[in-house]
Amino acid sequence: MTRLTRISAEGFELFWMMPSARLRPFVDAIWGVRGSAHYHVEAVVPNGAIEMMINLGPPQRVVAYGDRTVDERFTEAWIAGIQDERLVHASPSGADHVAVRFRPGGAHAFFDMPMDELAGRVVDLDALLGRSVHALRDRLLETPSDDARCVAIEAWLLSRRVSVHPYFATVRVALDLLRAGPLGVSVAEACERLGLSNRHLVKQFRTTVGLPPKSMARIERLQGVIRACRGEHEVDWSRLAASFGYADQSHLIREFRRLSGTTPAAFLRHRSPDESNLIVDGE
């Protein structure tokens, strides 16, 4: 029986698979896309995740980090470090790739380096893993079904895992505190409950997650707002701002714009099919 969930549209398919129990503390989902959407430029809103991409189709491009325009071309495999502003990418010729979305802090167990070295960047996987990633890509190219490709990546991850940093257990507890309920707790309160100074918690987050806890708290709150809007076409922004601890509607709009590059109302009108990201342009 398939473990995949799919969203399909004419000429385009998004699919994802929940990882096995051994990977679940580290990996949120193994996912992929095939085909051409009605848009070809998308802004990925900060979500606290690190993404590893194995490309099986035409080259893809990063065109902006926040308001900074770039032109970075990626052909085979890359990793997108954790972002604290939107990441704009282009798929002008369609897409065919399989990817891993790591949970906050989870990627460190597979890449033997401090995660803040990847923050705000997209890096060719050759630079981190050498030629070993090519064997995985070759195997995926020879594997026609989406299910089998996801299972192959899952097996690769299980064989790849390096080690779990001692900071990871504390960081997971801190993340749970920061996202507890619509409001979570403050970073200062998390430090008090964990018996750590702010400086030590920041160090642990930078090493395993890639961003300091305050940045993660802002991202978690933004993602809470986005989840609350799923399936909705009209939203009472003042009420939503209050329920997520923003001072007022203007505060919500400023934070939303800073992290995503657009207003909440514009995001609602131009969401991607999975309602997580922003369609920048269409054909």
Structural domain boundaries of the chain? 4-160, 167-282
Residue 265: which of 257, 224, 183 has the closest Cα? 257
Is pLDDT larger for residue 52 or for residue 162?
Answer: 52
The pTM score is 0.92
- pLDDT score of 24 more than 50: yes
Distance CA 228, CA 266 (A): 16
**Contact of 208 with 170, CB cutoff 8 Å:** no
Contacts of 207 (CB under 8 A, 6+ apart): 108, 114, 115, 116, 165, 167
Distance CA 21, CA 127 (A): 29
The pLDDT of residue 256: 97
The pLDDT of residue 2: 57
What pLDDT, in 10s, does the model give residues 68-78?
A: 999 999 999 99
Distance CA 155, CA 266 (A): 40
- pLDDT score of 283 more than 60: no
Annotation: CATH topology of 167-282: Arc Repressor Mutant, subunit A (1.10.10)
Fold match between 4-160 and 167-282?
Answer: no
- pLDDT score of 34 more than 90: no
**Mean pLDDT along residues 237-262:** 95
SS3 108: helix
Q: Which CATH architecture has domain 4-160?
A: Sandwich (2.60)
Is pLDDT larger for residue 278 or for residue 180?
Answer: 278
> Of 22-36, 58-72, 221-235, 269-283, which range is least confident?
269-283
Contacts of 89 (CB under 8 A, 6+ apart): 41, 42, 44, 60, 61, 62, 63
**Mean pLDDT along residues 171-180:** 92
Distance CA 68, CA 123 (A): 17
What pLDDT, in 10s, does the model give residues 109-141?
A: 999 899 999 999 999 999 898 888 889 999 999
The pLDDT of residue 91: 86
Burial of 88 (0-12, 13-18, 19+ CB in 10 A): buried
The pLDDT of residue 278: 93
